[in-house]
Amino acid sequence: MPQIDLLQRHNIPLLMRSIVLENPNDRMYLSDVQLPVPDYSDNDLLVKVEYVGLNPADGHFAKTGFDKWQYPHILGLDAVGVVVKANKGVFPNVGERVMWHANLGEQGVLSEYAKVPNYAVSAVPDNLPASKAATLPCAGMSALIALEKLKIEQGDSILIEAGAGAVGQFAIQFAKARGADVFTTASKRNHKLVKQLGADVVFDYADNKLYEKISRELGSQGFDAVLDSVGGDSTIRNIELMRFCGRIACLKPLPKFEDELMYRKAPNIGIVSLSGAWLANSLCAQQKMSFMSKLLLESVAKNTVKVPEVNMVEFSATKVSEALHKQLNGGFTGKQIVNIISE
């Protein structure tokens, strides 16, 4: 249903509030600024942003920057908002609430308005709160792409690292829906949560004897598949836990592997990169992301998939910077969502 009340109450200004990165820095220092509302053309939509989901990638790039960025750069990749301007005949229509994962190579979405190609968005069902929809794009699509790369089928055994994280929570639910036997790691305080989501066996990620305990539980056959969201030494350990020619989907850069491990395990390694759909200018991949978004939205609207707990963040540079530090430090459960519309 079009959000007529919002449109009637709001006139589009010339300037908008935005949170920007003046320059990459280890402190992740950000600034509150006023910037021109973006122009839109052709198949672009102009969207009044309501909520922005924060991801570890936002914190990473706030520290390192990105080679395609010009500064000051607006951060943020996951957004939900209402279409307020679109050319005639362009769908979704003005007044429709939409969700999308933005192009890493362009300006982000931590602002009152953003432009986005119409083929990159998905309409949010009327019965799904906008703040919950904002938890979905990066984490949900990463989980789905990873499971697709892993070719998860009925009876497969899969290890899902960091099961209480946003990606892990979605991956557990979708893997169980495909009939997999799900093993996961989580802090002790989150064991009940991941069990409720469908995990069959849970290990304490901080256990000094984690490898031995997983090996004992798994037996000699090894995992058919691993969703690796931690990276580094964990990736090497996870390949050791896989069967010969097992499958691993990695969300982090690969570590250096010893030749002996590669020969002995012959792993099928897949890399998960949502940003690649944009950076490779692959319209097909961008549209596929939109299809995945629709699946996520429909699954949550039908209550067949649960979203992580929403932790609301104030729309200010200081609060977002604090949230990004928290994002990288870990130790929290749920999804941090910036409320753009609250006054």
Nearest to 301 by CA among 122, 179, 88: 122
CA 266/CA 262 separation, integer angstroms: 5
Give the tens place of pLDDT for each residue, 204-240.
999 999 999 999 998 888 999 999 999 999 999 999 9
DSSP 234-282: HHHHHHHTEEEEEEEEESS---PPPHHHHHHH--EEEE--SHHHHHTT-
Give the tens place of pLDDT for each residue, 12-54.
999 999 999 999 999 999 999 999 999 988 999 999 999 999 9
pLDDT at 343: 53
pLDDT averaged over the chain? 94
- Cβ atoms of residues 315 and 339 within 8 Å: yes
DSSP 121: -
pTM of the model: 0.94
Domains, the chain, ranges and CATH?
A: 4-135+283-339 (3.90.180.10), 139-271 (3.40.50.720)
Structural tokens at position 231: 């990276």
Which sign, positive or negative, has the C-alpha torsion 145, 313, 339, 76? negative
Q: Is the pLDDT of residue 105 over 80?
A: yes
Percent of the chain whose predicted confidence (pLDDT) is above 70? 97
